[in-house]
Amino acid sequence: MDYDWSAADLAFRDEVREFLAAKLTPELRRAGRLATSVYPDHEASMAWQQILHERGWAAPAWPVQYGGCDWSLTQHYIFTRESTLAGAPALSPMGIKMVAHAIIAYGTPEQKEFYLPRILTGEVFFCQGYSEPEAGSDLASLTMAAVEDGDDLVCTGSKIWTTHATEANWIFCLVRTSRTGKKQQGITFLLIDMRTPGIEIRPLVMTSGEQVQNQVFFDNVRVPKSNVLGKIDEGWTVAKYLLVHERGGAMAPYLQAMAQEIAVDAAEQTGPDGNSLIDDPAFAAKLAEARIRTEVLEILEYRTISAMSRGENPGPASSMLKILATELSQKLTELALTAAGPRGRVYQPHATAPGGPIAEFTPPADDYRSGEQWQAVAPLRYFNDRAGSIYAGSNEIQRNILAKAALGL
């Protein structure tokens, strides 16, 4: 297997670098650099999406006829890698990277015509309604009911951990339309306008102080059956298809950039003895191990790309990559918090670019900041990253998948 880029790949890389250098403003780079989680500042993210849309690069993984790019898998990887290394803010994944693929695969012509162009422009902004208070990793246990009433489904229940529900004007939900058979049966995939009467949003304050997650309540919310994606009672199939896209993507470039930042920051921090943290053998060994693991992760991502480019099914690779990437990210945020030292214990979210409002916090009148901006970011990233091994299917569930699919247990 040859992991070197071809001449065409290198030319494409240079094209992407030129575009990023020209279009990434200091404000957008700041939003990417100071993001406290996988969800950047909402306004910056939408501004960057508009710039990408004008170039035709907002949704490169979509089929060309819907606005995607005729790129190879290698080009997709190069674009993601270069965007990450340049500090571009991430795009919200719920619309472009998740539900859009389900709409393309299972939507009616009318649904595709309405949603896809509006997702590209940002006119339609989706959030995800999967988890419930009693249905998280065991998602098939969901109970939010949708009862048929003429041409409508009447929805009652709640969803939790709904990212950017306050910004979204649409939500894609899994709802219970039948209770016969297995619990995976009788689930329907439904697209709901968030402006429909009967919907209430209650923000949740995370350990980082950010209000990015929410609980959404539905009280006899009427949704046209024409908003069903796929067929009634067969939404589990749509959900499984979407999860493949949720767990995919290139994480190694992001983690490599994070590790490099930690190395630079640790070298600049000196203790009373005049030595920098990077000179501490214990810390240096932990960072070196993490950096080696980012290289291993990148090779595994390359192998997955290679298999898919040959038309092969990568099998349980998405589960393995999800485990490695999220646990490595958690390790790196721990090292960043160590590197930040005492100033990293100061709560100063005003010096960061959080993904949502900060609860019960009044910034200093003079906008004072203790230490460097990266030291303010470190604790918020640390707290946010604790959820990485839980969302998109907990790592325990992913290990069960690997045990069955790879080890035959």
Q: Which fold has domain 248-405?
A: Butyryl-CoA Dehydrogenase, subunit A; domain 3 (1.20.140)
Is residue 93 a contact partner of residue 232, using CB atoms and an 8 Å limit?
Answer: no
Burial 374-384 (b: 16+ CB within 10 A, else e): bbbbbbbbbbb
Could you report the per-residue pLDDT of 258-273, keeping only the tens digit for each?
999 999 988 887 766 7
Interatomic CA distance for residues 49 and 147, integer angstroms: 37
Q: What average pLDDT does range 344-370 have in this prediction? A: 89
Q: Dig out the tokens for 375 from the structure.
A: 């030291």
Question: CA–CA distance from 1 to each of 75, 80, 109, 198, 304 (Å)?
Answer: 17, 22, 41, 56, 12
State the chain's mean pLDDT as an integer.
90
Q: Would you say residue 46 has pLDDT above 80?
A: yes
CA atoms within 13 A on the CB side of 84: 20
E-strand ranges in 212-324 read 214-224, 228-229
Tell me, what amino acid is at 129?
A: G
Give residues with Cβ within 8 angstroms of 275, minimum separation 6: none
Asked whether residue 375 carries a pLDDT value surpassing 50, the answer given is yes
* Chain segment 65-118, per-residue pLDDT in tens: 999 999 988 898 899 889 988 999 999 989 998 999 999 999 999 999 999 999
Helix boundaries (H) for 90-163: 93, 100-106, 109-121
**Residues spanned by CATH 1.20.140.10 within the chain?**
248-405
Q: If we measure between CA atoms, which residue out of 256, 257, 398, 258 comes closest to residue 334?
A: 258
Look at residue 157 and tell me whether its pLDDT is greater than 80. Answer: yes
Q: Residue 218 forms beta bridges with which residues? A: 157, 199
Angle between helices 317-340 and 373-385 (to 10 degrees): 140
pLDDT at 389 (0 to 100): 87
Q: Take residue 234 and report the two structure tokens written for it.
A: 């067969």
pLDDT of residue 6: 87
pLDDT class for 289, splitting at 50, 70, 90? very high
Chain region(s) in the chain for CATH 1.10.540.10: 7-91
SS3 195: coil
Average pLDDT over residues 212-240: 95
* 293 within 8 A of 330, measured Cβ to Cβ: no
Q: Cβ–Cβ contacts within 10 Å for residue 356, how many?
A: 24
Neighbours of 275 (CB within 10 A): 11
**Confidence at residue 1, expressed as pLDDT on a 0 to 100 scale:** 45
**What is the pTM assigned to this prediction?**
0.87
% of the chain with per-residue pLDDT over 70:
95
Contact indicator for 45, 83 with CB cutoff of 8 Å: no
- The CATH superfamily of 126-234 is Butyryl-CoA Dehydrogenase, subunit A, domain 2 (2.40.110.10)
Task: Please give the CATH topology (third level) of the domain spanning 7-91.
Answer: Butyryl-Coa Dehydrogenase, subunit A; domain 1 (1.10.540)
CA dist 232 → 29, 106, 120, 235, 348 (Å): 44, 12, 27, 7, 48
pLDDT digits (tens, 9 = 90+) for 174-201: 999 998 878 889 999 999 999 999 999 9
- Residue 314's pLDDT is 67
170 bridge partner residues: 126, 193
**pLDDT for position 102:** 94
What are the CA-CA distances from residue 351 to residues 27, 205, 368 (Å)? 13, 19, 9
Is residue 384 pLDDT above 60, yes or no?
yes
User: Which of 229-233, 246-250, 297-301 is the least confident region?
Assistant: 246-250
DSSP state of 62: S
